[in-house]
Amino acid sequence: MKVDASLPVRILTHNIRYATSQPFKGEKPWADRRQLLLNELVYNTRHVGESFIGLQEVLHVQLVDILAGLNNEDDAPWAYIGVGRDDGEKKGEYSPIIYRPQVWHLRRWETVWLSETPEKPSKSWDAASIRIVTIGVFRHRATGHTVLVLNTHLDDQGARSRSEAARIILRKIAEHCDGSYSNESISGVILTGDFNSQETQEAYQVLTAADSPLVDSQMLTKPAERYGNEITWTGFGYAEEPLKRIDYVLLGPADKKPSTPQQGAPGLPWASVGYAVLPNRFDDGVWNSDHRAVVVDAVLSRD
């Protein structure tokens, strides 16, 4: 199919905090947070059909609630790709990608375990938990643009596991972009997730290195045009560790030579026209999660 138009896309990523039976101090149970999360997702995607939602720490019961809430509010139904990380079915946390099938045709998808045995539920190196990346290839029905979307949640304990996981993700991106899976050309790449890595730390450094095809969407947006907060991890008001930015939307594929990402990343098919970190608590005092959502408005250029 001929690609005949540029394509605006809204990307939202949020670690929603799993539905624990033992809440932290300051944390409300999922039943109290559920509608707040749904309101956030509905409001920020209501008028943008070309949206992708990447969520982390989602248990199956939460996924059911979220899909029911989205589809109750919208006449363009939502669907998802993803599995529970513990068994490849419904057990454990999902890192789902949520999208509108009327807008995006799902070409193929997979779950990859971020370990030395990526084809099955497993963990490796110094990881404290099983970790996954959800990968989907989507063709935009109206323009024909094909977009590779990945969503992940890296380990919170193991520095080596985060670094190795980042390399696995880059290899998967390279395989999709070099035609290893089909002759279909990838117009753009989106990686969302909670990296548990600040800008100076291992996973972020690997994923945005000079030899990586990915660029931080925040860096593509002029500081004066960014909205909201800088910090994405807040805890529930009683955190004993520093608040930090660990949730990201990365875009690609970029040819970073000779310029740096901050100078425009020549060859990058995306322009970032909006970047926001949203509040996660309002006047009611309830934290909808211990993370804040990141929302990016990006435009994929004509091939």
pLDDT digit string, tens, across residues 170-201 = 999 999 999 878 778 999 999 999 999 999 99
Query: 3-state SS string over 172-216?
Result: HHHHHHCCCCCCCCCCEEEEEEECCCCCCCHHHHHHCCCCCCCEE
The ranges assigned to domains in the chain are 7-300
**DSSP at 223:** G
The residue-averaged pLDDT of 71-96 equals 93
Q: At residue 302, does pLDDT exceed 70?
A: no
DSSP letter assigned to residue 1: -
pLDDT, average across residues 274-301: 97
* Size (the chain), residues: 303
Number of Cα atoms under 13 Å in the Cβ half of residue 179: 3
Which pLDDT score, from 0 to 100, does residue 180 have? 78
User: Which among 98, 101, 34 has a CA at the least distance from the CA of 65?
Assistant: 34
pTM: predicted TM-score of the whole model, two decimal places: 0.95
On the question of pLDDT at 29 being above 90, the answer is yes
Residue 266 has pLDDT above 60, yes or no: no
Q: What is the mean pLDDT of residues 24-43?
A: 97
- Residue pair 138/7 in contact (Cβ under 8 Å)? The answer is no
pLDDT tens sequence across 91-143: 999 999 999 999 999 999 999 999 999 999 999 999 999 999 999 999 999 99
- Say whether pLDDT at 4 is over 60: no
Residue 5 is predicted with a pLDDT of 77
User: Three-class SS of residue 294?
Assistant: strand
- The confidence score (pLDDT) of residue 74 equals 62
Q: Which residues pair with 151 in a beta bridge?
A: 134, 192
- Beta bridge partners of residue 252, listed in sequence order: 189
29, two tokens = 């149970």
Radius of gyration of the chain (CA): 18
Exposed e or buried b per residue across 29-63, where buried means at least 16 C-beta atoms within 10 angstroms of its C-beta: ebeebbebbbebbeebbeebbbbbbbbbbbbbebb
Mean pLDDT of the chain: 94
pLDDT at 57 over 70: yes
Which is it for the CA torsion 71, 74, 77, 83, positive or negative? negative
- Least confidently predicted of 113-117, 142-146, 158-162, 238-242: 238-242
Residue 82 pLDDT level (bands cut at 50, 70, 90): very high
Contacts of 101 (CB under 8 A, 6+ apart): 77, 79
Which carries the bigger pLDDT value, residue 290 or residue 3? 290
**How far apart are the C-alpha atoms of 249 and 214, rounded to whole Å?**
10
Question: To which residue do tokens 């990343």 refer?
Answer: 265
The reply to whether CATH 3.40.250.10 applies to domain 7-300 is no
pLDDT tens column, 267-287: 899 999 999 999 999 999 999
| Per-residue pLDDT at 1 exceeds 70 | no
Q: Go through 164-177 and write b for each residue having 16 or more CB atoms within 10 A of its CB, e for each that does not.
A: bbbebbbebbeebb
The predicted structure's pLDDT at residue 129:
98
- Selected residue with higher pLDDT from 224 and 290: 290
pLDDT at 258 over 60: no
**Is residue 263 scored above 50 in pLDDT?**
no
At residue 260, does pLDDT exceed 90?
no
DSSP three-state, residue 48: coil
